[in-house]
Chains A and B, each alone.
Chain A
Amino acid sequence: MSAASPLERSRGRSAWLFLAPMLLVLALVAAWPLGRTIWFSLTNATLVDLSSYDLIGLGNYLAYEDGRWYGIFTDPQWLRALWNTLVFAAVSVSLETVLGVMIALIVNANLPGRGLMRAAMLVPWAIPTVVSAKIWAWMLNDQFGIVNAMLLSAGLVEGPIAWLGGSDLAMASIIAVDVWKTTPFVALLVLAALQTLPREIYEAAKVDGIHPVRVFFQVTLPLIRPALAVAVIFRLLDAMRMFDLVYVMTGSNEETMTLSVFARQALVSFQDVGYGSAASSGLFLIIALITVIYIMALKPLGEGQKA
């Protein structure tokens, strides 16, 4: 480094100069709110008067007083929200990945009307989430929803089903709507990867008379794995901070409440900035942890492939 020529040093300077605006924007829109949230999570601030609060250390996270534990990590409601979020993320992302790959394979085949199929596939992804959540909430309504009307007239159910009222059904309905909405995203990324695959390999496999299913698992899947890994991490991060769908469809119902809905309730409905910030920071921590684990788990796979 000490041997850097004047040219290199000046290039380094101009690199920083060009990076500066982006770093500034990043600091403004990401680092500042994040830092402020973490700071508030160490206080007992409320919206009643945001200008005066006390530092209480980690009291919002975990505290032991008078023989019992307090803080979000021991709050049954927060733990329930964590469980709901994990269930939602695991089930919805798995379904979206499997369905997304299947749909991508179908629209990648040489079928008539392929262009139209690809466009139609994107419609659910293109509708704003709040709008599609409201549409589905109406369609699933137990009194006047079209889903119940169809099931009733087909004679499949005896009485209207309260899709969003009961506990297990509500979570299942929300997962179904999320799968409907974001499968196209996975399909699109996988489709892009599929189109870059070399044809020769498939022709060789055909000549050797290998079964298509084996071709998929031994040729196609390893080749699209990097694209799939990107799609899954995007979906996983999105699913972990799920808010809009749940909030519009079932509000602050405990049985479907996710970590983000919990944080909103604490911050806005309960005006408890300290506790809500702790809930948000906890969510941030969990997402960061999951991302690190996921990337570490993927690394050996990628290296193995190169070797």
Chain B
Amino acid sequence: MFGGWRRLALAIGLPLVLAGSGPAAAQGANISIACGALGVELTLCREAAQRWARQTGNRVSIVNTPNSSSDRFSLYVQLLSSQSADIDVLQIDVVWAGMLASHLADLEEDLGPRVDAMFPALARNNRVKDKLVAVPWYIDAGVLFYRKDLLAKYGFEPPETWDELTGIAAAIQKAEREAGNDRMWGYVFQGKAYEGLTCNVLEWVSSYGGGTFLSSDREITAQNPQARAALSRAASWIGTITPQGVLNYDEEASRGVFQTGNAVFMRNWPYAWALAQGEDSPVKDKVGVIALPHGPEGESAAALGGWQLAVSRYSRHREEAIDLVRYLTSAQVQKERAIRGAYNPTLIALYQDEEVIEANPFFATLYPSFENAVPRPARQAGARYNQVSDAIWRTSYGVLKGDRAPRSALERLTDELDRIAYRARWQ
């Protein structure tokens, strides 16, 4: 409806512009970009996009999108499946590449070489069926935050395995509570039934050597002893070193508990570092960041996260839109975003940059986590990823809640993945 009116307006307006001649070409295209609006994100995006517009003689408009990422995904799906040209450049989550691939323009020719200078896991993730669907903008990976002061006070080293973490958390929680700090908890993470729980579960299971539920050739591998052990370990935390309320915690809720000084350990994304080190933070200078622990026979696994920029296939100004993506993902802009907003660059070279490291000393610590991050099974699941992730978080939520034993939860998960595979004709 709206589009129809606009086309009508264009049809009437176009002859007028042509009659005016000359300035029509010089005015350039109007590129609309949908970028995130969490914290400083929107300001950084707008400033950089407007700088590009001034340099190139085009115009940009920022499209407001919902903060909740599942709402944003629904909006994108509705816009793209109706082949709308309302958004030219989209900021997409790392797991959406496969789901939105058919609606996105191929950037291989223009930006392929640049993506090759980024983290390989991200580059692989954004190449869907030999088509480069998006350019990584910033990277995320799950990390373990710990209270340096408390570990030193009770003479512990930072944990390397989940068993060590459990022991240290229980001991410090007990001692602190006896000392009168009765709101102290050992470990907080994201246990709410949503995408964040899928990341946490993947990290536990993968670091126990239990795979990623769906192997790279789409075999369903959910049911195995390591996965059961990992889920049992996680379920044992609830009510002992982790508050019952974790079942409703997202990133911000768990940061709330940790940053007010009421938790020894926290699993979160790197953004929490800058906030925990803020001027008004009660735990300023008392926090350390390390890689997540691992199981008895596995290796530390951090869920790969982050956001990419993609160009809609239905954009009427593809050249200009690609140029905007080129500018926004350039070393110059990524460096600025790293220094001003602590967004982790995707260009590997920037981790050697002195100014970047000076602004964010923990980047050097995080680098290995980024390099070894484990992608969620998004590549294998492709367009079905949301379904797969929903099945993962729903069944493991039952385990954390104590409604199901790990074995029966993984049985249910296998059954649901079977159903998804049947509908997607994966065999």
Contact = CB atoms under 8 A, between A and B. Distances in A.
Contacts of A61: none
A65 B422 contact: yes
Interface of A: 44, 46-50, 60, 63, 65, 68, 70, 75-77, 142, 162, 165, 252-254, 265, 268-272, 274-275
- Most A CB atoms within 10 A — which of B77, B390, B419? B419
A272 B102 contact: no
A44 B74 contact: no
Contact of B74 (A50, A65, A269): A269
A268 B78 contact: yes
Interface string B235-266: 00000000000011000000000000000000
B54 interface: no
A75 B419 contact: yes
A48 B100 CA distance: 7
A159 B284 CA distance: 32
A63 B418 CA distance: 13
Nearest to B388: A270
Contacts of B103: 48
Given A270-B384, A271-B99, A47 B247 contact: no
Given A65-B422, A254-B394, A270 B248 contact: no
B387 A270 contact: yes
A70 B419 contact: yes
Contacts of A162: 248
B74 A49 contact: no
Contact of A269 (B70, B101, B422): B70
7 contacts: A48-B102, A49-B102, A142-B248, A268-B74, A269-B386, A270-B387, A271-B99
B99 A48 contact: yes
B194 to A, nearest CB: 9
A76 B413 CA distance: 12
A270 B386 contact: yes
A47 B81 contact: yes
Contacts of A165: 247-248
B93 to A, nearest CB: 14
A68 B421 CA distance: 13
A104 B422 CA distance: 53
A199 B99 CA distance: 67
B153 interface: no
Given A162-B248, A268-B78, A275 B423 contact: yes
A48 B383 contact: yes
Nearest to A267: B77
B390 A269 contact: yes
Contacts of B102: 48-49
6 closest residue pairs by CB, A with B:
A47-B81, A48-B383, A270-B387, A48-B102, A70-B422, A49-B102
- Most A CB atoms within 10 A — which of B78, B416, B422? B422
